[in-house]
């Protein structure tokens, strides 16, 4: 089922240098898939997220042209708080997402449901459930301000998941986190995908995208310059020209392919690389096994 449909979208911020932030963007988001958006900074990735979540045009004004339909209704006709039930949004900066009015993580996670007027016993039940599912029991009684960046980001996820949105828009969630924090966040993203959520993720770490995403949009200069299944896009050497980079495994595959024409498919993640290299070397996969 198609959840979001964007047609010929143009957008210009109210304060601008005469240039559009989004140019003729069209895309379709279908239920249950993980879409990743990549491309260099300042090319409209975050702006696109803001449109899909309705922050544009409801919070940032400016000129929005074209069609943006979320769950059958034009984005201009949704109110921001109605959309909160349908689309969750997680930001890059863990610090600005803490509400600032709660002294425990439990209360912080409950905040959105309180605003929606959900009855207290129901709130408590749902918050407890999310805390358990996301494995953050040890944080529940802490003050949100006393958490590390990675912990804050996990709480931000929980605070959005508890509202049970169908769609999640996640904007560079790990750029300020250490490897442990990044791992925890991607475990959560994986879990949400298993729950059947539709996810739109902006992220620079291509190795992680290769592992988790289904479909990819590559942006440059306000446009979607290429899109497709993650295997096809991330193995395409042209990504370097688009200044988006390539996963290490794809680079390795491309180099091998150059030097030895009988190398098979360009791999994009580790297990694929392992399998392809073994096949090429003539090692039977079942006898190889894992080295570590």
Partner 1 sequence: MSFIEIQDVSFTYPNGFVAVKNISASIEKGEKLAIIGQNGAGKTTTVKMLNGLLKPTYGTITIDGQNMKGYTTAQIAKRLGYVFQNPDDQIFQSDVFSEIAYGLKKQGMTDDDIAERVRRAAQQAGIEGYLDENPYNLPYSTRKFVTIACVLAMEVEVVILDEPTAGQDYVGMQQIAKIINHLQEKNITVITITHDMEFVVKNFDRVIVMTNKRIAADKDKREIFWDFDVIEEANIKQPYISELAHLLRVEERILSIDEFVDSLLEMKAKERVTS
Partner 2 sequence: MEKGNFILNLYPSTKFMLPLFVTISIFFVPGYLYAYLMLPLCILIAFFAGKAKELVNLVVKGLLVLVLFIFIIQSVIAPGEEIFWSWGIISIKQEGVMRSLSLTSKIIAIASAFLLFFRITPVKDISQALERIGMSPKFSYAIIATFQFIPEISNRSKVIMEAQKSRGVETEGNLLTRAKAFIPVLGPLVLSSITSTEERAIALETRAFSAIGKKTSLNELTKRRIDYIIQVAMVILLTILLIGRIWLWN
Residue 97 binds what, of partner 1, partner 2, none (CB under 5 to 8 Å, by partner type)? partner 2
Binding of residue 178 to partner 1 (CB under 8 A): yes
The distance of closest approach from Cβ of residue 67 to partner 2 in the complex, given in angstroms and rounded to an integer, is 23
Binding of residue 4 to partner 2 (CB under 8 A): no
User: Given candidates 5, 124, 204, 223, which one binds partner 2 under the rule CB under 8 A?
Assistant: 124
Q: Which of residues 133-152 bind partner 2 (CB under 8 A)?
A: 145
Binding of residue 41 to partner 1 (CB under 8 A): yes
Q: Which of residues 9-38 bind partner 2 (CB under 8 A)?
A: none
Per rule CB under 8 A, count of chain residues that contact partner 1? 37
The distance of closest approach from Cβ of residue 114 to partner 2 in the complex, given in angstroms and rounded to an integer, is 5
What x/- string results for residues 95 through 134 when contact with partner 1 is judged by CB under 8 A? ----------------------------------------
Residue 77 binds what, of partner 1, partner 2, none (CB under 5 to 8 Å, by partner type)? none
The distance of closest approach from Cβ of residue 123 to partner 1 in the complex, given in angstroms and rounded to an integer, is 33
Residue 222 CA: distances (Å) to CA of 36, 43, 126, 145: 16, 5, 39, 36
Identity of the residue, 106 or 242, whose beta carbon is nearer to partner 2 in the bound complex: 106
Binding of residue 163 to partner 2 (CB under 8 A): yes
């Amino acid at each position: 089922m198609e959840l979001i449909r964007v047609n010929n979208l143009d957008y210009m911020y109210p304060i601008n240098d005469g240039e559009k932030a989004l140019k003729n963007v069209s895309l379709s988001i279908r239920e249950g898939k993980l879409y990743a958006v990549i491309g260099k900074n300042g090319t409209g990735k975050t702006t696109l997220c803001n449109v899909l979540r309705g922050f544009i045009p409801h919070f940032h004004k400016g000129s929005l042209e074209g069609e943006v339909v979320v769950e059958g209704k034009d984005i201009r006709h949704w109110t921001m708080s109605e959309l909160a039930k349908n689309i969750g949004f997680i930001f890059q900066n863990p610090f600005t997402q803490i509400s600032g009015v709660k002294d425990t993580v439990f209360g912080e996670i409950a905040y959105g449901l309180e605003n929606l007027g959900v009855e207290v016993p129901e709130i408590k039940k749902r918050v407890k459930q999310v805390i358990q599912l996301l494995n953050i029991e040890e944080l529940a009684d802490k003050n949100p301000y006393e958490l590390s960046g990675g912990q804050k980001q996990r709480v931000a996820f929980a605070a959005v998941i508890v509202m049970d949105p169908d769609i999640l828009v996640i904007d560079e969630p790990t750029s300020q986190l250490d490897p442990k924090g990044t791992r925890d966040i991607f475990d959560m993203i994986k879990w949400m995908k298993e729950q059947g959520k539709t996810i739109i993720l902006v992220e620079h770490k291509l190795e992680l995208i290769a592992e988790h995403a289904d479909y990819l949009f590559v942006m440059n200069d306000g446009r979607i310059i290429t899109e497709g299944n993650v295997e096809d896009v991330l193995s395409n050497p042209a990504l370097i020209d688009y200044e988006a980079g390539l996963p290490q495994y794809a680079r390795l595959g491309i180099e091998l392919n150059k030097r030895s024409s009988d190398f098979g498919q360009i791999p994009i993640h580790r297990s694929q690389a392992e399998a392809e290299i073994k096949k090429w070397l003539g090692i039977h996969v079942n006898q190889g096994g894992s080295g570590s």
